Amino acid sequence: MASLSKAPLLLSAITLSIAAGLALWQSLLAERMHAAKDAYTARLQAQVLPDSGAFIAQRPLDAFSTARDYTQGSVIRSTTPRGYSGEIVLLIGTTPSGHIRALRVLSHRETPGLGDRFARDQGQWYAQFEHHTTATLALSRDGGSIDAMSGATVTSRAIVEQARTALERWHTPIDTHD
């Protein structure tokens, strides 16, 4: 019985010390974790539109940023809930005329090895999006010219359709680039 009465105390002590250790560890690393996340966003942003500034929240669901001199285009950040397993956040760089310069996935929870091949094929899948406008953005099986990642049609369609929606919303006449 002695050991039984001791057990709760011991377990509490172990739990508390682990929790304290983790809290300390997290606070030590918090800055690095944030920096890593920001660096990743910045890296992708530079890939879709070089020299774009910080994001400005402008419309519900979308945030965007523009190149410094406003003549090169914009970066749209757009989120779709229609991924195979949750949200997919896109970064889309556009030209002033409304064409896609480049597209990247910022975050996702798609099936590893299958639905995330856009991030593993050295940019081949992403390259299909370049120069498209809303009129031509669709999967080839939906009558467009973008090939779906094989075995990951849901993911591919979610990305393509969100890209089209984002472009449509961004390039409607109420735009003011200022």
Partner 1 sequence: MTDSSPSARLWRDNSGTIQLLGLCPMLAVTTSVVDALGLALATLLTLLFSATAVSLLRHALPPETRLVATVMIIAGGVTFIDFALAAYLPDLHRTVGLFVPLIVTNCAILARTESFATRHPPWPALQDAWWTGLGFAWVLLSLGAIRELLGNASLFVGAERLLGESARDWHWQGEQAWVVLAILPPGAFFVLALLVVLQRALSR
Of 9 and 54, CB closest to partner 1 = 9
Q: Is 177 in the site for partner 1 (CB under 8 A)?
A: no
Q: Is 23 in the site for partner 1 (CB under 8 A)?
A: no
Q: Is 25 in the site for partner 1 (CB under 8 A)?
A: yes
CA 137/CA 160 separation, integer angstroms: 7
We find the least distance from the C-beta atom of residue 52 to partner 1, in angstroms, to be 21
Q: Is 60 in the site for partner 1 (CB under 8 A)?
A: no
We find the least distance from the C-beta atom of residue 97 to partner 1, in angstroms, to be 33
Q: Pick the piece of the chain touching partner 1 (CB under 8 A) from 45-53, 111-119, 153-161, 163-171.
A: 111-119
Of 13 and 61, CB closest to partner 1 = 13
Q: Which residues contact partner 1 (rule: CB under 8 A)?
A: 3-4, 6-7, 10-11, 14-15, 18, 21-22, 25-26, 29, 32-33, 36-37, 39-40, 109, 111-114, 116, 119-120, 122, 150-151
